[in-house]
Amino acid sequence: MSMSRLGRTAGLVAAVAVLAGCGNVNPGVAVKVDDESVTVREVDDLAADYCDVLSPDLQGNSPPQVLPLGYLRSGIAGLLGQRMVAEQLAAEYDVEPGATYDDAMVQLEARLRGLDEDVREATKTVESASAYVQAIQIAVGAQLLEEAGGTDATQDTQLARGQEAFADWVADNDVEFDPEFGVDLVDGVVQPVDSTLSVPVGEGAKAAATRDASDQDYATSLPAAHTCD
C-alpha cells in the first residue's frame, strides 16, 4: 500500500455524489468536530486556491472538463472533517502518523515547489488529508491489535482495525457538517446525504442534487463563478 501519490480530482469527486447548493458563502461553520471547527469561508478559500491546481488537469482532457465548484467544496469539507476526527483520535491514543506519511509529505512538498504560497498551502491541506487519516488509522489499529495480543498483524489488518476505531469515535462524538455541503461521515467514511435542512434554490440548484460530477452538460451550464475549469 503506497501513499507516495496523493489523489487529486478523483479523490475529491469520489467523496461526494450530490450537490446540495453551491451559492451560500455566508459566514458560518462548515464542519465541527467536538470543539474544533472549520468555517465555510475557509472551505471556500481552499476550493478557490485548489481549483488553480486542478485547472491544468481539467484543461488537459480532450475535450477540456469542467468541475462544478460545489462538488469541490463538498469534497474538501468532507476531507477536513475526516482529518479533524483523525487528529482527535491521534491525541486520544497518543500516536503519530509515522514514517510513511512523513515520506509522502516530503514528496508532496517537492512537487509543490514554485507554486504561490496560498495555492501551495491549500494543496498541502487538501492532498495530505486522506494520507494523514489513513496513517493515523494504521497507527491506532496497530496499537489496539498489539494490546489484544496480535503482534504480527499485516498493515491491511491494522488499517481495518483502525478504521473500526475511527468509525466508533465518530459514532460516539459530535461531528456536524453544514447541510449545504450535502455530506456526512457514515461509518467514518465521507458519504453524500440528502439533508432535509438544505433546500436548493432555483431550478439549477434543484437539478444539481440528481447530477453526477462527470455530467458535463450540467457542469458547462453553470455560471463561471460556480465552476472549476
Give SS3 for 68: strand
Residue 212 has what pLDDT?
58
Q: How far is CA 216 from the centre of its chain?
A: 22
Residue 213 has what pLDDT?
57
Residue 112 has what pLDDT?
93
How do residues 184-207 score in pLDDT, each as one tens digit? 999 999 999 876 444 443 444 434
How do residues 42-89 score in pLDDT, each as one tens digit? 999 999 999 998 888 888 877 878 888 888 999 999 999 999 999 999
Q: How many residues does the chain have?
A: 229
How do residues 113-128 score in pLDDT, each as one tens digit? 989 999 999 999 999 9
For the chain, what percent of residues have pLDDT higher than 90?
Answer: 60
- Rounded to the nearest integer, the mean pLDDT of the chain is 82
pLDDT (mean) for 87-102: 96
Q: Which of 35-39, 61-65, 163-167, 171-175 has the lowest mean pLDDT?
A: 61-65
Residue 195 has what pLDDT?
60
pLDDT (mean) for 95-119: 94
